[in-house]
Structure 1
């Protein structure tokens, strides 16, 4: 996926920071790595399911071939490994992909199954050598290529499985006294298969991580305001609607808040638009710092106006948060010579505090918050007004 124009992306985006920092070690910083693991599991889930299903069917084919071609007692021992270890492991791993609770553990499950299957194949080759039966060793190369490229294992997991299987195979062949020249030739081909697999798997994961960052950057462009880094109006509306419906289900109160920078047009006229943009960025940072809980969100609503929603708090708690926002903006000490509210940039805040009812809508709450904001301006600005219903306000 092609990256969007990076000049258009909010400079505080964690996806942008990671892209600029690089990820040659195939590892992201902090929470972004956990988000990538979830993304990877979802992207490769179907591939893993099909790969395990195909592996199960192929393993059954080898069971049939071994049952026809192998002499006793070698046949019984090999079939014990195929039917008692490889087949059940593949089937269990395939079933695990359909359990949502195991989704975050599929790399561990898939890696363990791949490794045990590789070791079992090495064991089958060793059994054949011990019984002086010329069983083709190429099956272990097929297994190696399979879990590097088809099972959806990430680089680290696949490399561990591949190279441990390689070392085990060599150890088994040496242990049964296999011919030195043939062993050297076989080991060389298996080693090269692991080298190719390691390089290919690294490239595959690197590309997957690039796609993950590109999707994140595109999502930032779609949801975040370029100037302030807060949500834009469209993204806020979508998230606030979800929050509204959850509050209805759980009968929780909401604070829907409208905020406006006082006399901002005068600020732009006096200090210039570049200074105005910087002031909005700093105000947005103060607002955003107070809306970090999972169900809280804040956005730039347009121009110098901000909007926010806070979930499940008492009116007193919300008023304390909004007062902290108001005082935080004032504490920025951004000079505003043409303001009638103060000598610095200030914020007027209006809140609609209510428990959503079926007859209510988010638009109703926003209108009520806008009325409260109007009252805050009427009362001299640089203040907070809470309104529970039309005609009743408390400051």
Structure 2
């Protein structure tokens, strides 16, 4: 995915900060890392399902070949590993990809199954060596390639599985007395397969992380107001509508708020548009700091007008938040000699406080908040007015 022009992205974007910081260690800041892991699980889910299906079919093919070619008792011992360990593990991992509740644990499940299969293949080779049967060892290289490029494992998980499988293979060979040039050659090729796999898997995850950041930056461009960093009107409408529907289902209260910077046109005319933009940024920063919960949101609605939605607070708590916003904006001390409300920049706030009913809509609440805002202006501005339906 191509990166958007970074000058267009809000400078407070966590995606932009992470892009500037870099991630050569394949790790993001805690909040972004959790989001990336969910993104990775979604992106690679289909690949993991198909890879596991292919692995199951290949495992069955090896079962057929072993059944035809291997003598007893070697046949029974190897088939017990293939049918009793490898195949059930692959089937369970494949089924886990269809359980939404296990989505966050697929790396752990996939890594455990991959390592178990690698150890089982090392065991198959060891059993064949013990019986002096010339079973090709190259199958363990195929398993290693599968770890790195097909299973949808992240770099750290794939590297752990690949190198532990190499260690297990060496341990098996040495435990039955294998030595000499053949073992050195086999170990070298398996180690090189791990080196190539590690480099390739690192590059793949790095590219996936870049795509994740680009996707997040594009989403920021779509959702955020460039000047203030708050949500834009469209994004607010979408998020507030989700909060409205949840409040309607659960019969929880909502505070829908309209806010307006007092006499802002006069401020722009007197101090200039650059100063006006900076004033809006500072006002927006204060407003945004008061909406940190998942179902709360604030936005620039247009011009000097802001809007907000707070979920499941009583009216006293809502009024306390809004009074704190109003007083902190006044405390910014941004001089406004053209204002009739105060000598500094101030904010008028209208609150619609209600528990959404089936016959009501978010638009109804916004209209009620706008009426409350009009009353706040009528009563002298720099104040909070609350209305209920």
TM bracket, shorter-chain basis: over 0.9
Corresponding residue number in structure 2 for 1:392: none
Q: CA RMSD in A?
A: 0.8
Cα offset, 1:320, TM superposition: 0.8
Corresponding residue number in structure 2 for 1:386: 386
The answer to whether structure 1 residue 376 and structure 2 residue 376 are counterparts is: yes
Matches within 5 A, 1:1-395: 1-389=1-389
Cα offset, 1:179, TM superposition: 4.0
Distance of 2:30 and 2:333 partners within structure 1? 33
TM-score by length of 2: 0.99
Give deviations 1:331-377, integer Å, cap 9, x for gaps: 11111111111111100000111121222111111111111111101
The alignment covers a number of residue pairs equal to 389
Structure 1 stretches lacking a partner, 5+ long: 390-395
Distance of 1:97 and 1:185 partners within structure 2? 38
**After the TM superposition, which of the residue ranges 160-169 and 354-363 deviates more from structure 2?**
354-363
Post-superposition, which runs of at least 4 consecutive aligned residues in structure 1 deviate over 4 A? Answer: none
Give deviations 1:186-218, integer Å, cap 9, x for gaps: 111111110110000000000000000000000
Distance of 2:36 and 2:245 partners within structure 1? 29
- SS of the aligned residue for 2:388 comes to strand
Distance of 1:127 and 1:4 partners within structure 2? 56
Give deviations 1:13-39, integer Å, cap 9, x for gaps: 000000010000000002000000000
Distance of 1:364 and 1:330 partners within structure 2? 30
Cα offset, 1:244, TM superposition: 1.2
Distance of 2:192 and 2:30 partners within structure 1? 35
Give deviations 1:231-273, integer Å, cap 9, x for gaps: 0000001111111111111111211100000111111112111
- SS of the aligned residue for 1:44 comes to helix
Distance of 2:32 and 2:10 partners within structure 1? 17
Distance of 1:200 and 1:296 partners within structure 2? 42
- SS of the aligned residue for 2:318 comes to helix
Give deviations 1:79-98, integer Å, cap 9, x for gaps: 11111111111111111111
